[in-house]
Structure 1
Amino acid sequence: CKDNLRTKLVDRCGGHRFQTQLVMVSECKYKCGEEHNNGRTMGRSSQEFRLKDGTPCGKDKVCIDGFCIETCEMPFV
């Protein structure tokens, strides 16, 4: 699952116009970004995204609102 998720995130970041590289992946968030240095100017930009609610993030855990929580603690109502 991890390799499949990473491949999807790399593809998704590659589709962005300015943040084309996968920079960071945490339990329930990922960041796309870009750095440049043309000898005169240097710049860095990034954008952070949440994984979809329900994405597995550990044993008996899923992502909800950008946080990894145990499934027994999920709000059902």
Structure 2
Amino acid sequence: MKENRTTYAILGLLTTECRTGYEIKQLMDRSLNHFWKISYGQIYPTLQKLVNNELATVNSVAQTDKPDKKEYVIT
């Protein structure tokens, strides 16, 4: 897996309460937005790579009247 700053940042955030791509984006926008702009187009492919490389797992959580939520956990 090609490693980059986004990979390390997301792995670090998975050690916190952040579990979904949306939560990761919100936290990064609140705390790092002044010097690092990140998009969903960076977050979700990186999360998928982490799962493919067994650095994280993903679980689907059912939600009422919404699509299932994907929660990621560092391995």
Name the one with the larger strand percent.
Answer: 1
Q: Which has the higher helix share?
A: 2
TM-score normalised according to structure 1 size:
0.28
Larger-Rg structure = 1
Bigger RCO of structures 1 and 2 (CA < 8 A, at least 6 apart): 2
TM-score for both structures, normalised by structure 2: 0.28
